[in-house]
């Protein structure tokens, strides 16, 4: 990702695995991770805000870079979501599963087939639910040879789209024709035919894979420890620094200030709860839902 050291970076939909470079995390939920990594908890190891992706509580162009990883395929209104991402950010990166990956793994809660075509991110309506996804998810979790195959062909399973100033997006809500799906299935089976065990390669891959996992785990533990320490000795500084960035999502024209255990908009007087140092910046109709 083309991120400069001085860039202020937002991550939308950070879930249980936020990018190490993200400075501010936004997620719609604090406890519900069902459509991502299931039993893994949402990670809060840096400034975190509960907000909706369609209504982010920031001024225009607040951030130099916006990371959005595996969120777009869940959005019912991707155009509105992308417009909001472009409003608050100057540049960014969007990662989604490819349409090929969607046919193989078949997440039943994803709404779109996604692909990158001639520099444009293309979304097509997805009607089917889970196909063979459960089988292949178990395969990648339990068998190192399939994990090696997956990482060796990662560019076929993921689409990474980096943008500057504008996201080039096209969305089709017409369910794809059988010819389109047959072509994807044919590509999927040709790719899967290359998956096979190779004991020497599998052993080497397992060693380096476990090493990467251990390094990532150590960095996460250290980051969480430092965040806990920071909350213990300077929680008020965390909130004060967030004040510089936050903007009321209700009226889109007012800053917020701390009033007791909540935040209040100076313009429309909307009140937003605080969970420790986490602002809950949801619009009123969303607050009864399970954040």
Cα 202 to Cα 209: distance, rounded to the nearest angstrom: 10
What is the per-residue DSSP string for 100-133? HHHHHH--TT--EEEEEETTEEEEEE-----SSH
Contacts of 210 (CB under 8 A, 6+ apart): none
In which band, very low, low, confident or very high, does the pLDDT at 252 lie, cut at 50, 70 and 90? confident
pLDDT: is 283 or 113 the higher one? 113
Cα separations in angstroms, 200 against 127, 160, 197, 257, 278: 41, 31, 9, 60, 48
pLDDT at 1 over 90: no
Contacts of 139 (CB under 8 A, 6+ apart): 146
Residue pair 57/44 in contact (Cβ under 8 Å)? The answer is no
Cα 28–chain centre separation: 11
Average pLDDT, the chain: 88
89-111 pLDDT tens trace = 999 999 999 999 998 888 788 89
68-95 pLDDT tens trace = 999 999 999 999 999 999 999 999 999 9
Mean pLDDT in residue range 5-17 = 92
142-192 pLDDT tens trace = 999 999 999 999 999 999 999 999 999 999 999 888 899 999 999 999 999
- Predicted structure pTM score: 0.89
The confidence score (pLDDT) of residue 240 equals 79
Count of CA atoms in the C-beta half-sphere (13 A) of 52: 17
The confidence score (pLDDT) of residue 288 equals 47
205-246 pLDDT tens trace = 999 999 999 999 999 999 989 888 888 887 777 877 887 888
The confidence score (pLDDT) of residue 11 equals 97
Cα 27 to Cα 16: distance, rounded to the nearest angstrom: 10
Residue pair 291/282 in contact (Cβ under 8 Å)? The answer is yes
List the Cα angle 20/207/156 in 5-degree steps. 60
**Torsion angle in degrees (nearest 10) through CA of 243, 12, 253, 7:** 60
The confidence score (pLDDT) of residue 107 equals 79
52 bridge partner residues: 55
The confidence score (pLDDT) of residue 254 equals 76
Domain ranges within the chain, ordered by starting residue: 9-221, 222-286
Phi, psi angles (nearest 5°) of residue 271: -110, 135
Cα 261 to Cα 236: distance, rounded to the nearest angstrom: 12
Mean pLDDT in residue range 199-208 = 95
pLDDT at 289 over 60: no
């Amino acid at each position: 990702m083309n991120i400069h050291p001085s860039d202020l970076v937002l991550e939308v939909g950070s879930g249980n695995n936020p990018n190490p470079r993200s400075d501010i995390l936004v997620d719609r939920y604090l406890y519900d991770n069902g459509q991502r990594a299931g039993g893994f908890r949402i990670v809060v190891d840096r400034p975190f805000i509960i907000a909706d992706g369609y209504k982010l509580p920031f001024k225009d162009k607040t951030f130099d870079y916006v990371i959005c990883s595996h969120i777009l395929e869940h959005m019912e209104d991707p155009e509105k979501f992308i417009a909001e991402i472009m409003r608050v950010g100057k540049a960014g990166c969007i990662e989604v599963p490819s349409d090929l990956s969607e046919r193989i793994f078949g997440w039943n809660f994803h709404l779109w087939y996604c692909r990158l075509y001639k520099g444009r991110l293309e979304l097509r309506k997805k009607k089917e639910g889970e196909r063979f996804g459960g089988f292949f998810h178990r395969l990648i979790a339990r068998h190192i040879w399939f994990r090696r195959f997956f990482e060796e062909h990662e560019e076929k399973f993921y689409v990474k789209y980096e943008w500057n100033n504008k996201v080039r997006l096209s969305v089709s809500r017409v369910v794809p024709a059988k010819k389109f799906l047959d072509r994807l299935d044919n590509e999927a089976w040709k790719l899967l035919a290359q998956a096979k065990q190779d004991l020497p390669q599998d052993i080497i891959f397992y060693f380096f894979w476990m090493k990467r996992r251990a390094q990532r785990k150590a960095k996460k533990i250290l980051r969480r420890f430092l965040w806990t320490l920071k909350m213990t000795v300077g929680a008020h500084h965390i909130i004060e620094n967030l004040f510089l960035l936050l903007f009321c999502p209700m009226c889109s024209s007012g800053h917020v200030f701390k009033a007791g255990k909540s935040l209040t908009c100076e313009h429309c007087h909307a009140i937003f709860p605080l969970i420790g140092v986490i602002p809950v910046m949801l619009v009123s109709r969303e607050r009864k839902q399970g954040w």
